[in-house]
């Protein structure tokens, strides 16, 4: 299998598979409820550990205290869109249980917590009148996090676009990017004195292509041209938001991308060409404008259309390419592709996302309940590929990484999620290998603090360090919660011993 991303002969150490952890600090949890497992991966002094969530996936209270509807409210209430008709109406009820959840973060000992603000909770119509009760909720959340010794990291957009803006065109139109900047300014002016890290967008690939072309996510559209316009306007919205955040004196500003380590199924020319198309769609449509100030060069007319479409205005790329303080990377699994016939009947959809590839699964490893192969060395390769490709790559934060497992509360009242512990151990070891090879990775947010609403999959996938009973909303820390606490404790003890 071949790949251009990650194949960097000048940096051979980056290509080495991450060593299985064997020289780290041993798990010495004093709490005997925690599992005794393999040694912890070692990461440098100053490396930060956290946990992450997103508003629509955990908050609930979808129509309380002035919150307006989002595209995910509309989408999930449309029959057939989510598994079992699940919605985020209640989710984990974090809106009413935030103090309990902050207590879990305090007990976990994390340095930081990445959460998202629900845009329609602050601005029910997307623009215009501000919802004071929404502002107050996040005020309390941030203050209580700080009191617990947990640094807030705020994602401004984690897919819950106000429905009122979608009704006016959504991300297909530039007005949404401008509204996003106004929302960013409001949030920064209100919370900027207390928020350590700002993330403009979470996974714009999913917003643009899964939402506007594939139709599997909100708003459920299947449009080629609309998806390309959405991709550009998301990037413009990011650039405008960075400008607004800087003007408000925000501290660290970045963006989070879900980047894939992609392999070709073979060295046949058609599979190598399929690889290039997949790398452009999944990675370079985002990294090239954000990190290099250009759209990817590719002979395919789709990407020429993205770069030269009527939605692009003079100065857009300079706006999008505004300097970042960090790049957030979400990673779960690698992808292998081969050439395949186009499937979509609509030529516009065909050019946007049906790019003539099929995904294969040659890995022969364990899979999570999402059906994703567990290949931690792919994370090392991805990080090293970024490092080699972009000379001015900002510091990297792993903003999501975790596994969905078949978790149940056992007769002993515990959740024994050994598979998740192995997954996290190996992926943190992969990060450590990339750091040793020269990649500036500053921290890691485990996905997720809580089991939660997994978008179109409803509630059948559990990613949390904490189990949530969706009938009673009871929280039960899993073995992985205790393991992660032990890792953080051991990391601090080791680095304090070695720091002069």
Is 203 an active-site residue? yes
Domain locations in the chain? 12-498
Do residues 182 and 119 touch, judged by C-beta distance below 8 A?
A: no
pLDDT at 30: 32
Query: If residue 286 lies in a helix (H) or strand (E), which one and from where to where?
Result: helix 285-292
Residues of the chain whose pLDDT is less than 70?
A: 1-37, 298-305, 344-352, 498-500
* Alpha carbon distance 302, 143 (integer Å): 46
Tell me how far CA of residue 415 lies from CA of 14, 15, 32, 404, in angstroms: 36, 36, 14, 13
Cα(first)–Cα(last) distance of the chain, in Å? 46
Is the N-terminal amide bond of 219 cis, ω within 30° of 0?
A: yes
pLDDT at 20: 33
SS3 annotation, 114-144: EEECCHHHHCCCCCCCCCHHHHHHHHHHHHH
Query: If residue 435 lies in a helix (H) or strand (E), which one and from where to where?
Result: helix 418-436
pLDDT at 28: 29
Do residues 429 and 16 touch, judged by C-beta distance below 8 A?
A: no
* Alpha carbon distance 244, 229 (integer Å): 22
Of 500, 498, 377, whose CA–CA distance to 437 is shortest? 377
Of 67, 249, 254, 51, whose CA–CA distance to 152 is shortest? 51
* DSSP helix/strand/coil, 317: helix
Torsion of CA 373, 377, 380, 382, to 10 degrees: -40
* Alpha carbon distance 254, 238 (integer Å): 9
Query: If residue 489 lies in a helix (H) or strand (E), which one and from where to where?
Result: helix 479-498
Give residue 422's Cα distance to chain centre: 21
* Alpha carbon distance 39, 285 (integer Å): 39
Residue among 400, 405, 419, 454 flagged as catalytic: 400
pLDDT at 224: 87
* Alpha carbon distance 253, 243 (integer Å): 10
pLDDT at 303: 66
Is 400 an active-site residue? yes
In CATH, which superfamily holds the domain spanning 12-498? Glycosidases (3.20.20.80)
Do residues 162 and 123 touch, judged by C-beta distance below 8 A?
A: yes
Tell me how far CA of residue 314 lies from CA of 264, 273, 308, in angstroms: 36, 31, 11
Q: Where do we find the tokens 């009947």?
A: 345
* Alpha carbon distance 101, 79 (integer Å): 31
* Cβ count within 10 A of residue 149: 11
Tell me how far CA of residue 271 lies from CA of 52, 219, 301, 395, 471, in angstroms: 36, 32, 19, 33, 47
Which tokens sit at 1? 């299998």
pLDDT at 302: 63
Do residues 27 and 425 touch, judged by C-beta distance below 8 A?
A: no
Residue among 42, 144, 203, 252 flagged as catalytic: 203
* DSSP helix/strand/coil, 113: strand
pLDDT at 38: 80
List the beta bridge partners of residue 443.
48, 397
* Alpha carbon distance 358, 367 (integer Å): 19
User: Which residues, 6+ apart, have CB-to-CB distance to 83 below 8 Å?
Assistant: 456, 457, 458, 459, 460
């Amino acid at each position: 299998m071949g790949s251009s991303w990650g194949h960097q002969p000048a940096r051979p150490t980056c290509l080495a598979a991450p060593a299985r952890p064997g020289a780290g600090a041993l798990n010495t949890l004093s709490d005997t409820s925690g599992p005794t497992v393999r040694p912890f991966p070692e990461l440098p002094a100053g490396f930060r550990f956290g946990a992450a969530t997103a508003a629509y996936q955990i908050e609930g209270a979808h129509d309380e205290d002035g919150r307006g509807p989002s595209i995910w409210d509309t989408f999930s209430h449309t029959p057939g869109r989510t598994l079992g008709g699940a919605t985020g109406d209640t989710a984990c009820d974090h809106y009413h249980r935030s103090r309990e959840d902050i207590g879990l973060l305090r007990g976990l000992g994390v340095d930081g917590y990445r959460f998202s603000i629900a845009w329609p909770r602050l601005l029910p119509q997307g623009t215009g009148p501000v919802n004071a009760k929404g502002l107050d909720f996040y005020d309390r959340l941030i203050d209580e996090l700080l009191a617990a010794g947990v640094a807030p990291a705020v994602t401004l957009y984690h897919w819950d676009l106000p429905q009122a803006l979608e009704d006016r065109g959504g991300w297909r139109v530039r007005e949404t990017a401008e509204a996003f900047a106004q929302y960013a300014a409001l949030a920064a002016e209100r919370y900027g004195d207390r928020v350590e890290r700002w993330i403009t967008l979470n996974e714009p690939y999913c917003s643009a292509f899964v939402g506007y072309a594939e139709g599997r996510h909100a708003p459920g559209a299947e449009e080629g041209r609309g998806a390309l316009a959405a991709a550009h306007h998301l990037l413009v919205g990011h650039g405008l938001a960075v400008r607004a955040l800087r003007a408000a004196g925000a501290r660290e500003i970045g963006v989070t991308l879900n980047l894939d380590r992609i392999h070709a199924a073979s060295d046949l020319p058609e599979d190598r060409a399929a690889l290039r198309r997949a790398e452009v769609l999944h990675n370079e449509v985002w990294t090239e404008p954000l990190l290099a100030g250009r759209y990817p060069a590719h002979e395919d007319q789709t990407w020429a259309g993205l770069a030269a479409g009527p939605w692009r205005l003079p100065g857009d790329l300079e706006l999008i390419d505004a300097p970042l303080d960090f790049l957030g990377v979400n990673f779960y699994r690698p992808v292998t592709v081969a050439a395949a016939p186009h499937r979509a009947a609509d030529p516009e959809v065909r050019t946007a996302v049906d790019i003539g590839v099929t995904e294969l699964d040659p890995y022969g490893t364990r899979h999570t309940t999402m059906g994703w192969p567990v290949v931690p060395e792919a994370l090392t390769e991805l990080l090293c590929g970024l490092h080699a490709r972009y000379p001015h790559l900002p510091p990297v934060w792993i903003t999501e990484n975790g596994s969905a497992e078949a978790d149940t509360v056992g007769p002993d009242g515990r959740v024994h999620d050994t598979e998740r512990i192995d997954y996290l151990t190996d992926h943190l070891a992969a990060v450590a290998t990339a750091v040793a090879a020269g990649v500036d990775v500053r921290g890691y947010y485990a996905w997720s603090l809580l089991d939660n609403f997994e978008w179109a999959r409803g509630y059948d996938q559990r990613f949390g360090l904490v189990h949530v009973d969706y009938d009673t909303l009871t929280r039960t820390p899993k073995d992985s919660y205790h393991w992660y606490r032990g890792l953080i404790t051991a990391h601090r003890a080791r680095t304090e011993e070695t720091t002069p």
